[in-house]
Amino acid sequence: MFLEGLILPQFTRKRLVSATLHLFEKRKEDKYDIILGRDFLQAIGLDMHYSASHFTWVNISVSMVPSGYWTKEKVRDVTKTWNKPIEESINETHLTEILPAEYKPVDISDVVAKQTHLSPTEQDRLKHVLLDFEDLFKGQCGKYNGDPVSLELIPGS
């Protein structure tokens, strides 16, 4: 099937691509949710970095997700954005879903010890500050529960 004006929202909503895609019915034993051919990837300039587990396109990097991540509902939600006029897509005030990353616990003492440019007193102060926010270093993705945040950007930036 030929798709024109395709948006890859995990990267950017400001760039459209057109390409011929080949559809297949996924079976339970299939390892991948979607297979993009080399011809498509080369045509749009998308690079896959397996050693770092991410993709790069138009200077934007996105983490690879585990097999099974793309449910029918998630695919349906993404494809809904493909039919929006480009102006509407560009001017949206929210981001698409942030894709999962691999989080690992961090040893605060180890991090502080590596800050050799700090004096022992400064290292101790840093350690106390980091320990006040110890939950942030447990290696788990959390959820922001504070007030909504608004960022003003310079027009055209």
pLDDT digit string (tens) for 57-77? 888 888 888 777 878 888 787
CB 108 within 8 A of CB 130: yes
How far lies 126's CA from each of 15, 67, 137, in Å? Answer: 42, 39, 14
Q: Domain tally for the chain?
A: 2
- Who's near 137: CB < 8 A, 6+ residues apart? 105, 106, 108, 130
In a domain, 130, yes or no: yes
Q: Which residue bears the tokens 């290292």?
A: 123
At 115 the pLDDT is 93
How far lies 132's CA from each of 96, 125, 137, in Å? Answer: 31, 11, 11
Is the same domain home to 86 and 112? Answer: no
**Does the pTM of the predicted model rise above 0.75?**
no
pLDDT digit string (tens) for 18-58? 888 777 788 888 877 677 788 888 888 899 998 988 899 88
In a domain, 149, yes or no: no
In a domain, 100, yes or no: no
Is the same domain home to 15 and 85? Answer: yes
